[in-house]
Chain A
Amino acid sequence: MSAFLANPNLRLVIFGGKGGSGKTTSAAATALHLSKPNPQKRILTMSTDPAHSLGDSFDIAIGNKLTPIVDNVWGLEIDSNELLEEYKARHGEVIKTIADRGTYFDKEDVEDFFTKSLPGLDEVMAIIRIADLLKAREYDLIILDTAPTGHTMVLLSLPEEMARWIHLMDMLMEKHRYVMKTMIGRYKRDECDEFIDSQTEDIRRVRQLLTDATTTEFVPVTIPEPMSIFEIEKAIETLKGYNIPVNSIIVNRVSDKERECPFCSARSEQGERYMQEIEQKFAPYNLVKMPLFPHQIRGEGLTEYAQILFGERKYTPPAKAGVLPKVTPLAKGGFSDILKKELNFVIFGGKGGVGKTSIAVASALYLAQHKPDRKVLAFSTDPAHALSDSFVQHIGNEITPILGVDNLYALEIDGTQLLKDFKQDYQDVIDETFEKFLGGSGVDVRFDREVLKELLSVTPPGLDELMSLRKIMELMKERDYDLFVLDSAASGHLLRFLELPHLVRDWLKSGFRLLTKYRGVVKLTKATELLLDLSRDVRRILEVFSNPQGTEFVMITIPEEMGVAEMGDLSASVANLKIPSFHIIINMIIPPTDCGFCAAKRKEQQRYIQEIEAKSPDHTVVPIPLLPHEIRGLESLSELAEIMFGE
């Protein structure tokens, strides 16, 4: 087995895994490490997670521009909305012309579509940006720091989907080409054809690179914890399907067995068990074990991390922590005031790996047990669900009663499946709509039929998330449950999800305008009724989201630089969306200790705890200690809930 990333011909390295497993740190450290022996090699580290932390890791402000990090390393944190604007400025006119030629819509309609944003844009724009970078050949190596697993798998499936969108555009042009040939006897290629050709070539290049084992590697990053292992296991399976090469797996936070501290040894014993699982499950891969550090890895610390990562140095834990910090035991029950409210909707959000699922599930359990007259539904929208693991009970895409708690239910919403069901249930409405809007040319229905067939088989980005939202709206309308507890995707995609109702409303308004405009030509009663229903539901969910009596967004963070930075961004956006928020949970605080290792970590944490408290005077800060054991199953969930709610 070759050493970690030893292939000198690498052009693309993708780091992926569950939130909080150390993807960004690994990506940043790798870039710095590979740059040194190859000063002529131009290396770009690019983050595709909408909640970027690459800049925090390098300790340099990056943003949506190519930013020099060291001599031959650059950083880039893509901003999909900015990229969309650039894309529209470059190609908007051509796309409008294609739409004008191939559909029933006129320029004004298409113009209106162009003012709208799209769901699922982050992944689409990331692929387009990668395509541009490959075309320009400015960088010899691109290192991707990705969003947590679920959305990264979406990202990697996109090139194939995008190739079909481009094919669809080509089909839309076919009618125009036919008309021209019939009328003037020949067809002269123009900028639309060139655009389609160049896009096809760009996407082909991305697809080729992704699957080329001589130049590409996907590096799963995990920690010895069950959910993290489960996520990379699923990811590796998906990657096999796409033929994306995997050789090494980074296992972060492998703790040292030989410690005297009972807290440390309890945690390391548990880690040891999962380490064995990792060694068994991923035996064919090169396992790169990284130690648990008593401090966070950022800025200059990346060099040490990289040396250990590439096997150039052994880790020696600090002998002594110096002066032990004086910390008071953590207060309990900071979350109990939630019990006094009659909430209908609680959203738990934060960076990946901060413990969202455990806290959301523990809260749902406690609220169900202490409000026996209310029916509670815990649900998740993250494509990489974790509720089953937390409840230790299979859940899936059906509402499942939680064993042992009469009024608690759970649901892992599968947006992709819902989208399939929707297409099936409303096939007649979809057919009617597209046929009426695509037809009317009188040239040859053959083209329209083919376009229609293709159109119905492609999936626009973000529709699965829209379907998840629709499911929630449906459940709320049915009033079967009194309290909904959402375990959301990590902050970047949670934000996209919370913005979705606004975005859908915008598109619906355009849809209604079109239906009104063409009412003399096409009558789409069923489609109109369906859209009206959706619009009312979206309005209702917006009302629910912003109702301070019924809804609360609970921020979860950990006392580390990246956790705190991401919390700030998410808080601002949540406030902007007018979603009420009154609590901040700081999770994984090391309990008071005499152990040098724990004390060093705790000392570092203290600074961030104080920073969070100072920055959030309007919020109740709820501290939660790091528990010596994992939180799975009702018993340990109750223990966690007791810390949060108990007096």
Chain B
Amino acid sequence: MPLITTYLMFTLVKAMTEPLCMVVEKIRDMADEELYGEDKIKQELLELQMKLEMDELTEEEYAIAEAALMERLEEGQHRGGEE
């Protein structure tokens, strides 16, 4: 295949797949934000604390859920550091 054809093919494929990659990346970012975003985790933490104060969670249940949130927060910070 002449070089020019290879180049054109490459450009075409790239042009076709790039938006898709961007979408995939965007989705991944959103998922990350949903899972590891500090604001999101803070809101969840407040919700947990409210549940504890409403007696909907026991101290033990709260401790477990809080630990899971903290883990996610750390993971998020870790990921943020990598990028």
Interface residues of A (CB under 8 A from B): 508-509, 512-513, 515-516, 519, 523, 525, 528-529, 532, 535-536, 539
Interface contact A512-B43, CB-CB below 8 Å: no
B43 partner, pick from A508, A523, A532, beta carbons under 8 A: A523
Extra contacts besides A513-B54, A525-B42 (11): CB < 8 Å: A509-B53, A509-B54, A512-B51, A512-B53, A515-B50, A516-B50, A525-B43, A525-B46, A532-B53, A535-B53, A539-B53
Q: Specify the chain B residue showing the minimal Cβ separation from A523.
A: B43
B42 touches A508 (CB 8 A): no
Supply 10 A–B pairs (Cβ within 8 Å), ascending by A: A508-B53, A512-B50, A512-B54, A513-B54, A519-B43, A525-B46, A528-B46, A529-B46, A532-B50, A536-B53
Q: How far is the CA of A512 from the CA of B49 in the complex (A)?
A: 10
Q: Does B47 contact A (CB under 8 A)?
A: yes
Name the distance in Å between B43's Cβ and chain A's nearest Cβ.
Answer: 7
Per-residue interface assignment for chain B, residues 16 to 57, with 1 indicating a CB less than 8 Å from any chain A CB and 0 otherwise: 000000000000000000000000001100110111011100
Chain A residues contacting B50 (CB-CB under 8 Å) are 512, 515-516, 528, 532
Q: A515 — which chain B residues lie within 8 A by C-beta?
A: 50
Q: Which residues of B contact A519 (CB under 8 A)?
A: 43, 47
Q: Complex: how many Å from CA A422 to CA B30? A: 39
The answer to whether A532 and B47 touch across the interface, beta carbons within 8 angstroms, is: no
- Complex Cα–Cα for A523 and B39 (A): 11
Chain A residues lying within 8 Å of B43, measured Cβ to Cβ, are: 519, 523, 525
Interchain residue pairs A-B with the least CB separation, the first 9: A512-B50, A535-B53, A509-B54, A528-B46, A512-B54, A532-B49, A512-B53, A516-B50, A516-B47
**Docked pose: A379 CA to B51 CA in angstroms:** 34
A519 to B43, CA, bound (A): 9
The interface residues of chain A lying within 8 Å CB-to-CB of B51 are 512, 516
A509: chain B residues within 8 A (beta carbon): 53-55
Using CB atoms, name the residue of chain A closest to B55.
Answer: A509
Q: Which residue of A lies closest to B47 (CB)?
A: A516
Across-interface contacts of B53 in A (CB, < 8 A):
508-509, 512, 532, 535-536, 539
Least distance between A98 CB and chain B CB atoms (Å): 27
**In this complex, what residue of A is CB-closest to B50?**
A512
Residues of A within 8 A of B47 (CB): 516, 519
CB distance from B16 to the nearest CB of A (A): 37
Complex Cα distance, B49 from A539, in Å, reads 13
Closest approach, in angstroms, between the C-beta of A520 and any C-beta of chain B? 11
| A513 and chain B: residue at smallest CB distance | B54
Q: Min CB distance, A109 to chain B, in Å?
A: 15
State A509–B52 Cα separation when bound (angstroms).
10
In the assembled complex, the CB of B60 is this many whole angstroms from the nearest CB of chain A, namely 16
Nearest neighbor of B53 in chain A, beta-carbon distance: A535
State the CA gap A532–B53 with chains docked (Å). 8
Most buried by A among B43, B46, B51, B55: B46
Query: Closest approach, in angstroms, between the C-beta of A505 and any C-beta of chain B?
Result: 8
Residues of B within 8 A of A539 (CB): 53
The proximity string for B residues 40-83 relative to A, scoring 1 for CB distances below 8 Å and 0 otherwise, is 00110011011101110000000000000000000000000000
